[in-house]
Structure 1
Amino acid sequence: MKRIINVLLFTMLGTFLQAQNSISGTITDKIDQATLFGAEVYFPQLEKGTVTDENGYYELKNLPTGSYKLIISHIGFLTSSQSIVITDGNTSFNAQLTPSAIEMEEIIVSTPFHKLQRENVMKVERADMKDLKAQGAVTLSEGITNVPGVESVSTGLGIGKPVIRGLSSNRVLVYAQGIRLENQQFGDEHGLGISDAGIESVEVIKGPASLLYGSDALGGVLYLNPEKFALPNKTEGDVNLTYFSNTEGINANAGFKTSGEKFKFMLRGSTASHTDYHTGDDVTVTNSRFQEQDIKTGVAYQGTSFKTELRYNYNYLKLGIPEEIGEQTNDRTPLSPYESIDNHILSSKTNIFFGKSSLETTLGYTFNTRKEFEEGEDEAALDMNLATFNYNLLYHLPKWGNWETIVGAQGMHQTNSNFGEEALIPDATTNDIGFLATSHLHFENNSDMQFGIRYDRRALDGEENGISGEEGYISPIDQSYNSFNAALGYKLELLKKLTGRINLASGFRAPNLAELTSNGVHEGTNRYEIGNADLSNEQNLQTDISIEYKNEHMEFYVNGFYNSVNDFIFIQSNGQTIEENEVFLYQQQDAKLYGGEIGLHIHPHPLDWLHIESSFETVTGKLKDDTYLPLIPANSLTNTLRTEFTKTNNRLESSYAFITLKSVFKQNNISGFELASDGYNLLNIGLGGTTLLFNHPIDIRLSGNNILNTDYISHLSRLKGDGISNIGRNINLGVSIPL
């Protein structure tokens, strides 16, 4: 054993002592051979990149030897993706980009092989946070609803949680800083608990992702990519201010980052404050106000064959919980009942490159403190601490021809502790461990296959709470769950511009503590909930089929899915009441969900600045007894007319404008304890751009959401039962100033 350890240490030391390798070259326009200034040159696996200078020249230093994917992109050109072999010394590589009206592609980070979307076997939706903000979203949870197939279960404006194709809560995993975000997401009124400040983009895996992420990824993954460090030898700073008319809301954040050749540092702080929102009927929704403070920081070191980064995020939320229409004020301090939430996220990511293989280690620790204060009480009725340590080890095996393989191990250790008068779930410990192997194979006929298998085990150990026979008593629990899961996908370029994908994936979810142990009134839902300690795993199998056609001036896609879930866990009334609260029991029954999305994007020649976009999404969810599942989003149709210009004059670097009509249809397919929802139309408009002020670029954006002040109630609003409408007209003015 000692000899093996010495060999490993010697091998790692050898990688650190390699000579400094570099790559350099020139990027030009393939048509007129003109050099391209500002083209991005990026190695996704190394997470290292630069931009070309005014002569189209680039250079990257301190690179490990081996074969790595190189991505070259520039606005107005087709993104280039190819494998480059880095050798000792300097590698010379010149590239030509083809002009194209197709929007610039980005690397997909949430899948393990870090490819462009067109190279991925699995279809992943991606949206830049900058674009979501331009559409006037007040919060991150509201912004993600602009991604096709994604909605949000909301409690007012400040509390929202993602819904992916009809599934939410513990069936959707949220990843931030490369680690799973754990914040008692079982609760209907428990939101994301993370600020959009310092988030660069959002990726959505719509379907089972248990192969990559384990339990709770049965419905999909919301992957939040943090902002990148500055490019080597660059220092940047910025200030961002946003005002929202409806809530008199103010969002402000400022950031600073600097990088040398090896060491990097960043810091960003933000604050937000909102009063109660106004509905389309100009009614103020009492206690929908909220406040948020957030800080994100990180340090990194990047050598030739070794890189590591450490990030920390602290988020504080004080959220009013709206229950009825009461006093009409513009106060900013939440009233009782309200939530006070502290979220700490500490993550570490380290990569070691061995030439033909590499090791990626991600470690994470999150600490979530959730306190809920009832009306007239100074002490928290509910006070829960959730501490989670998770790890992810991925080893990229040496490539064998066009065959890429990753093996790995993932796990989690989690403890929940109660300190308040009430306990929704017991003091408990959760331990996860999983092992996976996945491969990507590229064929010469422009087709790709991806497949993998995984084994997981979860153990739950919960303590007794309360007095047996009395309300709120929780019996001790000692349960374990295990599952094998697999995924198989195939992508084929049917014609040069037509791509087809088919994916089959299984997923699983172990029942959560609330489903197993509940015995009392859940104040957030106003019902008496009784858990079921005999619940078994949810296990599903989903089939996804997608067809995508793309040429220089038109894109069209059709995505369809069928999701069969065995032992789906749901809650249902038994017709009884306890202390005037209706009693609900957790039960299991097989279920199915099906639907999809259709989209069209036209940017006609020669009017490449004009974009006409249309998308339709639908999902249906049913239990085996043919009754409907709750909280299934209504069908919707979104039509957008958008213009984009670059370098319009000497002062205006770029500009955009859009008008969007979102039509949401009636939702009559409801569960036994839901109310049907009427349809409605929302008209949104916006414009903005980058202008020069004292030779410094400044981004300005102005948007109006629900510009006609329509009074409506979303089917996924938890205030629907009280007849409380969603937000009315909201004008958003934002400015971003680089320092």
Structure 2
Amino acid sequence: MRLFLIMLLCFIASPVVAQNIIQGRVTEDATTTPIPYIDVYFPQLEKGGVTDENGNFKIKNLPSGTYKLVCSSMGYETYSKNITIPYTGDLLITLKTSVTEMEEVIVSTPFHKLQRDNVMKVEQAKISDLKASGAVTLAEGITNIPGVESITTGMSIGKPVIRGLSSNRVLVYTQGVRLENQQFGDEHGLGLNDAGIESVEVIKGPASLLYGSDALGGVLYLNPERFAAQDETHGDFGVTYYGNTQGLSSNLGYKTSGNGFKFLIRGSMAEHADYDTKDYRVTNTRFKEKDLKAGFGYQDTHFKTEVRYNLNDSKIGIPEGVGAQSTNKTPLLPYQKITNHIFSSKSNIFFKDSSLDVTLGYLYNDRKEFEEEHDHDDHEGEDDHDDHDHDTDDAIDDHDELDPALHMKLKTFNYDVKYHMPVLGKFETIVGAQGMHQTNTNYGEETLIPNATTNDFGVLAMSHIHFDNMDIQLGARFDNRTIATEDNLDKTFNSFNGAAGLKTDIAKNTALRLNVATGFRAPNLAELTSYGAHEGTNRFEIGDSNLETEQNIQTDLALEYKNRHIEVYVNGFYNKVNNYIYLSPNGELINDDPVYLYLQDDAALYGGEVGIHYHPHPIHWLHLQSSFETVTGKQDAGDYLPLIPANNFKNTIRVEFENNWIQKGFAFVKLSSTLSQKHVSAFETNTNGYNLLSTGIGGDFQVFKNTLNVSITGSNLTDKQYINHLSRLKSDGIYNIGRNFSVGLTYKI
């Protein structure tokens, strides 16, 4: 914080500099015809504009230096070029026609490059596309990304799985800050709503070099909604209905930007009844959620800052079996009440040939869990709760009549400071420091983890080296973590990690990426200190304060071929994890619950993804896409690791169309084939394979001179009865969600 204030004072005291302006024209390469309404954008500066009807653009208030300029639109190949400012004269940009998807700048890696220029392989998907596929929640939507799955408890609780690793081994970033919400728990989901999130990026593999502990398995990076372009104001309202859960989600947003100041706000609400299968509704999978996101920004010639806030409040039922059947939406006991506050501040100071980025975050996670035995009858004015089958909408709306069995407050302050050094020849270099201060406090009768304080500090350096036919990326980092509990447990963990990667064209239209990186994860509080029954899992867990740091090294090889009509990729990885922490039964019982111990053994995970995207000439409106993903995880002792997703094929036929009455029209049919999972751990059972068929159609319509986006999606069209291997309801033989139709409308003003 002190560094941030010093830099801010330096900015205020610095002399005013002349405004830099860049202007130019965008034309089509083959015909030199001007192209209107094209986005022209500096990602690092988060500043840009749109071409007018004659293809002209002008961007004002730009700092001096060299920055990447990106120009993108559907139907054209994304343009990317480093521009040195001040720039004299007019800039002429020519775009080549293309039927492949628009490329976006990758934000989760530090050099802000398009994926084709990135040394690391990073998957990116727009939230609007994931929602158009029929996903009910964000956790379900990310499973459309190759190599990403989700451990679920019903529809409302989902934990991301990247190439077989999950929970504290996968780090989630939102608003540019590290999300902390008690990820160790089996029933602790993301705690985020997709409203106000623009896209998601996935780093598949150890990202400890960039993000420190808990990024051993990968990173899920959520990019927030952009502010409006300068001198523009936009508003929109959206609503989606889900037939299976009789659920409704709605959101309303507004954003405006002037010459220097910008503002946005978005509110959303969602509520769902128990999801339906072919034979029954799964009792208490219902949930309610409210979400508010707001942001304020200011930008001048050499300084840019933004402050964002997210409030998420949710009531989530915890299913315990199939019971009373209804379509009520108020959760029954047991249930969770979770409130997340996320404050973030991101500032950039631009010098002549370098820049400083300072990101600060404060997160307040208030988690309560309510159970029947904690339903007290001595509160004045409360209803009679002798019958605990509360299947009415007003049964537990008044939380004052309940005391939480479990109540934890997690408060986290984190910071991230990076200095982009002046470019030296072929070298782009970043040095930085990151840290976290976190306290966990218990207020309920039950205690899963003790009151504790955690402190992290790390320093890193990373370089991107440009050669004529090759790009190389090198980096190193040192981290220190300390954990202190009220029970006098004091632990210190240190780790040194490095990464090296290269990207090169090995043939025409063929690129190769090879990355080798190490990662680490310090044991979490549950693994170090547990001693008690874990609700929902029906087991008595015992931790080990002598557990050592998990350390891994992963080799990742990616081959990509792309021309005008076909794209093919093959990704393979081998991930060696030393001191892998896992739960194992010891054959004893405590209070009729089986005892599970936290143990360690070396392990390895390996597999990859293969995909093809074919868009034949001359019918470029037709897209045929297929992908396959596989991962295997084994301990050195020979046993398979738990919660490893089954192999999966996805095949999609997609058409895109436009005419006088519909723009950006699309329709698709998708078949997802999940194979049986027989490589299971000692306390898991085999899972049968299944096929799921889905379809959808949508597009933009002009209504009252504004755009109305419509999407209609049907998933699991055959109403298949199936159980996903990563469902926590699998042990009770409970099916996943059946046939679901959804209709979404978004009106843009």
Asked if TM exceeds 0.5, the reply is: yes
CA drift of 1:495 comes to 2.0
Is 1:241 the counterpart of 2:239? The answer is yes
Is 1:718 the counterpart of 2:697? The answer is no
CA drift of 1:525 comes to 1.4
Structure-2 residue corresponding to 1:204: 202
Per-residue displacement from partner, 1:391-417 (whole Å, max 9, x unpaired)?
Answer: 000000000122100000000000000
Q: Distance in 2 between matches of 1:353 and 1:733?
A: 45
Among 708, 726, 730, the residue aligned to 2:740: 730
Q: Distance in 2 between matches of 1:436 and 1:180?
A: 17
Q: How does 1:641-660 map to 2 (within 5 A)?
A: 641-646=653-658, 648-649=659-660, 651-660=661-670
Q: Distance in 1 between matches of 2:665 and 2:12?
A: 51
Q: Distance in 2 between matches of 1:395 and 1:522?
A: 44
1:329 is paired with a residue whose SS is coil
Is 1:461 the counterpart of 2:495? The answer is no
Q: How does 1:378-393 map to 2 (within 5 A)?
A: 378-393=402-417
Q: Distance in 1 between matches of 2:740 and 2:721?
A: 13
Give the conservation status (yes or no) of the 8 Å contact 2:635–2:641: yes
Structure-2 residue corresponding to 1:473: none
- Code of the residue aligned with 2:327 in structure 1: it is N
Structure-2 residue corresponding to 1:368: 365
CA drift of 1:695 comes to 2.2
Q: Distance in 2 between matches of 1:582 and 1:250?
A: 40
Q: How does 1:401-416 map to 2 (within 5 A)?
A: 401-416=425-440
Structure-2 residue corresponding to 1:231: 229
TM-score, structure 1 normalization: 0.96
Among 330, 334, 338, the residue aligned to 2:335: 338
2:707 is paired with a residue whose SS is strand
Change in Cα spacing, 1:614 to 1:15, as seen in structure 2 (3 Å) is farther
CA drift of 1:16 comes to 5.6
Is 1:690 the counterpart of 2:700? The answer is yes
Among 518, 521, 529, the residue aligned to 2:533: 521
2:475 is paired with a residue whose SS is strand
Q: Distance in 2 between matches of 1:68 and 1:509?
A: 35
Q: Distance in 2 between matches of 1:414 and 1:37?
A: 50
- Code of the residue aligned with 2:723 in structure 1: it is I
Which moves more between the two structures, 10-19 or 594-603?
10-19
Among 436, 459, 462, the residue aligned to 1:438: 462
CA drift of 1:272 comes to 0.1
CA drift of 1:14 comes to 7.2
Change in Cα spacing, 1:272 to 1:7, as seen in structure 2 (3 Å) is closer
Change in Cα spacing, 1:348 to 1:727, as seen in structure 2 (3 Å) is same
Query: Kindly, what percent of the aligned residue pairs are identical?
Result: 59
- Code of the residue aligned with 1:129 in structure 2: it is I
Structure-2 residue corresponding to 1:470: none
- Code of the residue aligned with 2:452 in structure 1: it is A
- Code of the residue aligned with 1:508 in structure 2: it is F
Per-residue displacement from partner, 1:597-653 (whole Å, max 9, x unpaired)?
Answer: 00000000000000000000000000011100000000000000000113x12x212
1:516 is paired with a residue whose SS is helix
Q: Distance in 1 between matches of 2:438 and 2:4?
A: 31
Q: Distance in 2 between matches of 1:370 and 1:259?
A: 36
1:142 is paired with a residue whose SS is helix
- Code of the residue aligned with 1:691 in structure 2: it is F
Q: Distance in 2 between matches of 1:477 and 1:197?
A: 41
2:165 is paired with a residue whose SS is coil
Structure-2 residue corresponding to 1:537: 549
Structure-1 residue corresponding to 2:680: 670
- Code of the residue aligned with 2:95 in structure 1: it is L
Q: Distance in 1 between matches of 2:198 and 2:279?
A: 34
Structure-2 residue corresponding to 1:216: 214
- Code of the residue aligned with 2:603 in structure 1: it is A
Q: Distance in 2 between matches of 1:15 and 1:598?
A: 53
Structure-1 residue corresponding to 2:500: 488
Change in Cα spacing, 1:404 to 1:299, as seen in structure 2 (3 Å) is same
Change in Cα spacing, 1:696 to 1:287, as seen in structure 2 (3 Å) is same
Q: Distance in 1 between matches of 2:6 and 2:191?
A: 45
Structure-1 residue corresponding to 2:140: 142
Structure-2 residue corresponding to 1:99: 97
CA drift of 1:5 comes to 13
Is 1:499 the counterpart of 2:511? The answer is yes
Q: Distance in 2 between matches of 1:432 and 1:653?
A: 49
Q: Distance in 2 between matches of 1:16 and 1:145?
A: 50
Q: How does 1:259-278 map to 2 (within 5 A)?
A: 259-278=257-276
- Code of the residue aligned with 2:744 in structure 1: it is G
Change in Cα spacing, 1:732 to 1:565, as seen in structure 2 (3 Å) is same
Q: Distance in 2 between matches of 1:235 and 1:64?
A: 24
CA drift of 1:372 comes to 0.5
Structure-1 residue corresponding to 2:472: 449
Among 185, 191, 194, the residue aligned to 1:193: 191
Q: Distance in 2 between matches of 1:237 and 1:393?
A: 34
Structure-2 residue corresponding to 1:468: none
Q: How does 1:555-566 map to 2 (within 5 A)?
A: 555-566=567-578
Among 223, 228, 251, the residue aligned to 2:249: 251
Structure-2 residue corresponding to 1:357: 354
Give the conservation status (yes or no) of the 8 Å contact 1:22–1:91: no
Change in Cα spacing, 1:6 to 1:725, as seen in structure 2 (3 Å) is closer
Structure-2 residue corresponding to 1:153: 151
CA drift of 1:103 comes to 1.5
- Code of the residue aligned with 1:582 in structure 2: it is P
Change in Cα spacing, 1:8 to 1:537, as seen in structure 2 (3 Å) is closer
CA drift of 1:100 comes to 1.3
Q: Distance in 1 between matches of 2:459 and 2:22?
A: 36
Q: Distance in 2 between matches of 1:111 and 1:634?
A: 29
2:507 is paired with a residue whose SS is coil
Q: Distance in 2 between matches of 1:11 and 1:692?
A: 49
TM-score, structure 2 normalization: 0.95
Structure-1 residue corresponding to 2:56: 57
CA drift of 1:38 comes to 1.3
Among 273, 279, 291, the residue aligned to 2:288: 291
CA drift of 1:9 comes to 8.5
2:608 is paired with a residue whose SS is strand
Per-residue displacement from partner, 1:99-148 (whole Å, max 9, x unpaired)?
Answer: 11122110000000010000000000000001001000000000000000
Give the conservation status (yes or no) of the 8 Å contact 1:15–1:354: no
Structure-1 residue corresponding to 2:73: 74
1:343 is paired with a residue whose SS is strand
- Code of the residue aligned with 1:17 in structure 2: it is V
Give the conservation status (yes or no) of the 8 Å contact 2:267–2:292: yes
Among 597, 604, 609, the residue aligned to 2:616: 604
Q: Distance in 2 between matches of 1:277 and 1:366?
A: 31
Q: How does 1:41-52 map to 2 (within 5 A)?
A: 41-52=40-51
Root mean square deviation of aligned Cα: 1.4
1:273 is paired with a residue whose SS is strand
Among 296, 300, 304, the residue aligned to 2:297: 300
Q: Distance in 2 between matches of 1:100 and 1:7?
A: 47
CA drift of 1:8 comes to 7.8
CA drift of 1:514 comes to 0.2
Give the conservation status (yes or no) of the 8 Å contact 1:616–1:635: yes
CA drift of 1:252 comes to 0.2
Q: Distance in 2 between matches of 1:222 and 1:289?
A: 26
Change in Cα spacing, 1:8 to 1:124, as seen in structure 2 (3 Å) is closer
CA drift of 1:6 comes to 14
Change in Cα spacing, 1:45 to 1:91, as seen in structure 2 (3 Å) is farther
1:332 is paired with a residue whose SS is coil
CA drift of 1:496 comes to 3.0
Per-residue displacement from partner, 1:162-207 (whole Å, max 9, x unpaired)?
Answer: 0000000000000000001000000011000000000000000000
Per-residue displacement from partner, 1:556-577 (whole Å, max 9, x unpaired)?
Answer: 0000000000000000000111
Is 1:400 the counterpart of 2:424? The answer is yes
Unaligned runs of 5+ in 1: 465-475
- Code of the residue aligned with 1:688 in structure 2: it is G
- Code of the residue aligned with 2:725 in structure 1: it is H
Task: Figure out how many residues of one structure are paired with residues of the other and give that number.
Answer: 720
Give the conservation status (yes or no) of the 8 Å contact 2:11–2:303: no
- Code of the residue aligned with 2:22 in structure 1: it is I
